[in-house]
Amino acid sequence: MDFAQQNIWLILLTLVSGYMLIGGGLMGRLSGVKQVGPQEAVMLFNHDALMLDVRENSEYTDGHIPKSKHIPLGQLGKRLSELDKYKDKPIVAVCRSGSRSGHACGMLRKAGFENVHNLAGGIMAWEQAGFPKEK
């Protein structure tokens, strides 16, 4: 018990980290949003998927997936009508690490988009896989 009292911040940090690593992926699965890796994202893109980048403007201009559509997460709710023509097509949401894009996937699902995917690991995973970016 002394250990727990002396290391409460360490224990809380461990619990929060575990939730972020495990809970986030579990919540994505429960919400019906499929997590895809960079290779799967490319296959979806080759079959007419929309790559939706939800990062902020400065992040997007630093480098983004070619031919991706940019709508920052904070504007997505107001700009959903721009995506209406993709309602029956796959959409792959992208952010820096996969967290914001997961939230965007939830918003899209609530708006009636059925075929929504989250790029697991975000643009960082895309870069690590050696896929191109453009500025």
Q: Which one from 71, 94, 95, 120 is the annotated catalytic residue?
A: 95
- Burial letters 95-128, b for 16+ CB under 10 A, else e: bbebebbbbbbbbbeeeebebbbbbbbbbebbee
Question: Would you say 93 and 44 are in contact if contact means Cβ atoms under 8 Å apart?
Answer: no
**Residue 105: active-site member:** no
- The Cα-based distances of 85 to 60, 81, 107, 119 in angstroms read 23, 8, 17, 21
Active site residues: 95
